[in-house]
Structure 1
Amino acid sequence: MKKKTLMITGAGGFIGSNFIKKYENDYNIIPVCLIENKPENLDYTGVDTILHLAALVHQMKGAPEEKYFEVNTELTRRLATTAKEKGVKHFVFYSTVKVYGFDGELNNHDFILTENSPCNPNDPYGASKYEAEKILKSLQDENFKVAMVRPPMVYGEGVKGNMLSLMKLINILPIIPFNYDNNRRSIISTENLLYMTHLIIKNEADGIYLGTEGNPVSIKEMAESIEKGLGKRKINIKFPNFIFKLLCKVKPNIMIRLYGTLTFKQEDNYEKIKYKPKDSMDNQIKIMIGGYKNAK
C-alpha cells in the first residue's frame, strides 16, 4: 500500500516531534517551519494531508491579542487556502478546548461538554483558534476534508504545563491536599492522542475530535496514580470545607484548575476512525515519570 505524504507544521514542537518519532515509518513526512517559509511558497506536490500544529499557544505572561490572530487564525487561513488550491485533499488542525471558554466547574460536577457544545472563547488564544476553525469549516467540501482536534489536558513523557507542575508538587511535598474525589477531568496521554491523530490521517476523516480516553478522573485518582509512579506514599489530606470555600474566593483560578470539573464526551466521530484508547493511565503516568526522572 502506498504511503501517504504528510506535511507537518510545527514539527519541532511537543506533539509534532513525538508524532514523527512514532509514525515516521508510516508516512512520507515533510516537516515545514512557517516562521522561515510562507505558506504560499511551500511545495505541495504529492501532499495528501497537512497536519497543522504550528501555533502561538497560551502565554502565561501574555502576548499581544493581535499576535494570536496573526499566527493562529490568519496563518491557518493562508495555509489551508493555498493547500486547497494546490490540490491537497485533507487538512488536520490542532485546535484547543479553550474554544469553549470554560475552564472548569467547582459546583456542578455533572457538567459535560461535547464536540457539539456551543463555543464562547474568553481569551485571545481560544478566540483565535475558534476563528480558524470557522474559516476551515467554510473551506471544506468534498475535495477538501477538514478535521479539528481539541485536546484536553495531555500527559505523557516530556509533557509540560499543568500535569508537570502537579507531578513536581506531589514529588516534593510530604503532605498533599488532593484527597478530593468530587471533581472529574478528561485527560489524554500523548500515546493515545498521537494514535487518534494517526487514525484521523489514515482514514482521511473530517469532523471535530476531542481526544478523550476512558472515564474522566478526579484529582485524587490522578494524585494516587502519580504517587504510584513515583514510588512514594504521601499523606493525602482534604481541606476543611470552610478553608476550601475561602481558597475558592481568594485563588479561584488555581482552585478551578486543581479541583474543578472539566469533562468532555465525544458524541460521534470516534466510530468513523475506530478509535479506542490503547493504554492505561497508570502505565502512561509511569512512563511520564520515568522520562521526568531521566531528564533531571
Structure 2
Amino acid sequence: MRVLLTGASGFVGRGVLVRMSARFDIELTAAFRKPLQVIPERVSCEVVGGLDAGTDWRKLLDRVDAVIHCAARVHVMNDTSSDPLTEFRKVNVDGTLNLARQAAAAGVRRFIFISSIKVNGEDTTPNQPYKADDDSAPLDPYGISKMEAEQGLRALAAETGMEVVIIRPVLVYGPGVKANFLSMMRWLHKGVPLPFGAIHNRRSLVALGNLVDLIVTCIDHPAAANQTFLVSDGEDLSTTELLRRMGTALGKQARLLPVPNRLLEVGATILGKQALAQRLCGSLQVDISKTRELLSWTPPVSVDEALRKTAKHFLEQHAK
C-alpha cells in the first residue's frame, strides 16, 4: 500500500511518520513544509512549500492508495491576523479541498482528515460529552475552518466515490508537546504553587500514541469509510487530577492551592486570560463509544503511561 502523509514535520505528523516508517507493508511518502534533520529509513520525503488552493500535488499522488492529511494552519491562543477566518480558510479549507480533489482525480481510495474537536464546540456540561454525530457548533475561526473542510470533503466523497475518514482529536499530548501543556510541566518541575487544587471539571485528552494508533487503524479498516470519529484516552480527568498525576510522572509533588473556580475566573478576566481559564476550569468531554464499537478499537496507551513518556522526554530535553 502506498500512503501520502502531509504535515509530517508537525507534532501529530511526526508521530504518524515514526509509526508508519516501521511498517514494511506500506510505502510512505512524507510531505514537509521544511526539511527535517532526521528522516526515518524507507520514507520518501518531499518538501512542499505551502498548503493552499494552488499547491500541485500530482507528482506525490501517483499510485497512492491513501492520504493522511495532518497539515493545517493550527489554532493559536493569540492570533494577530486582521482577518483570522480568511487566513484559516486559505489553508484548512481551500488547501485541504485542493489536495482532496487532486487525490480523487489520481484514484486515491481513502482520504483521512485530521480535524478538531473544536468543530463540536468549546465545552460540555459534565457527564454530557460530545458525540461524533452531534451537530457542529464551532465558535472560533479555526473550528469554523475545520468544519467547512469537513463539509467540503463529504460533498467530494459523494461526488467522486473517494472514501473520507474524519478524526476529531481533543487536546493531544505526548513527548515533545508544547504550548500550555509544556508550561504546566515547567511549573510542576520548578515546584511553583498553583491555584488549581479545587477544580472539579472533566476533560478528555488524547495521548499522541493513541491518536496515531487510531489514524493507522483507519487507513484500511473497512468500517471507517465515510465516518467521523472522536478520539480520547477513554479516561477523563479534572485539571486538579491531571496536575497531580503529571507531578507524579515528573517525580514531583504538585503544590496545589484550593482556590475556588469563581475566584480563578475573576482573576483571569482581570488579566485578559478568559480563554485559558475556560480550558483550566471548564469541562470538555467526548464519547468515543462509536470509535470503539465500529472499529473494535481501544486506546492502547493508558493515561499514566502516556504521562510518564511525556515527562521523561521533558526531563531529558527541557529540565535544567
Tell me which residue corresponds to 2:157: 140
Matches within 5 A, 1:267-278: 267-278=289-300
Measured after TM superposition, the shift of residue 200 of structure 1 is: 0.7
- Match of residue 212 from structure 2: 194
- SS state at 1:215 partner: coil
Q: Does 1:5 align with 2:2?
A: yes
Of the candidates 18, 22, 47, which is equivalent to residue 25 of structure 1?
A: 22
Residues 219 and 258, structure 1, Cα contact 8 Å, conserved in 2: yes
Q: Distance in 2 between matches of 1:61 and 1:240?
A: 30
Match of 1:113 among 130, 151, 154: 130
Q: TM-score with structure 1 length normalisation?
A: 0.90
Taking structure 2 as the reference length, what is the TM-score of the superposition?
0.84
Contact 1:180 1:218 in 2 (8 A): no
Contact (CA 8 Å) 1:176, 1:237: kept in 2 or not? yes
Find the counterpart in structure 1 of residue 66 from structure 2: 49
Aligned mate of 2:49, from 35, 39, 51: 35
1:225 counterpart residue number: 245
Offset, 1:290: 0.9
- Larger mean Cα displacement after TM superposition, 15-24 or 263-272: 263-272
Are 2:258 and 1:235 aligned? Answer: no
**Structure 2: which 5+ residue stretches go unaligned?**
33-47
Between 1 and 2, higher relative CO (CA 8 Å, sep ≥ 6) is seen in 1
Residue 235 of structure 2 corresponds to residue 215 of structure 1: yes
Structure 1 residue 157 and structure 2 residue 154: aligned? no
Count residues in correspondence.
290
CA contact (8 A) 2:92 2:146 kept: yes
1:263 aligns with 2:285: yes
Q: Within 2, Cα distance between the matches of 1:180 and 1:49?
A: 46
Question: Over the residues paired in the alignment, what is the CA RMSD in angstroms?
Answer: 2.1
Aligned to 2:35: none
Aligned-pair CA distance for 1:248 = 6.0
Sort the Cα spacing of 1:241 and 1:290 in 2 relative to 1 into closer, same or farther, 3 A. closer
In structure 1, list runs of 5 or more residues that go unmatched: none
CA distance change for structure 1 residues 237 and 208 in 2, over 3 Å: closer, same or farther?
Answer: same
- The match for 2:117 among 94, 97, 100 is 97
Matches of 1:62 and 1:198, distance apart in 2: 35
Moved more, 268-277 or 130-139: 268-277
- State the distance in 2 between where 1:52 and 1:211 align: 16
How far did residue 110 of structure 1 move?
A: 3.1
Contact 2:15 2:209 in 1 (8 A): no
- 1:291 and 2:288 aligned: no
Counterpart Cα distance in 2 of 1:145 and 1:222: 37
TM-aligned CA distance change 1:273 to 1:80, over 3 Å: same
Percentage identity across aligned positions?
28
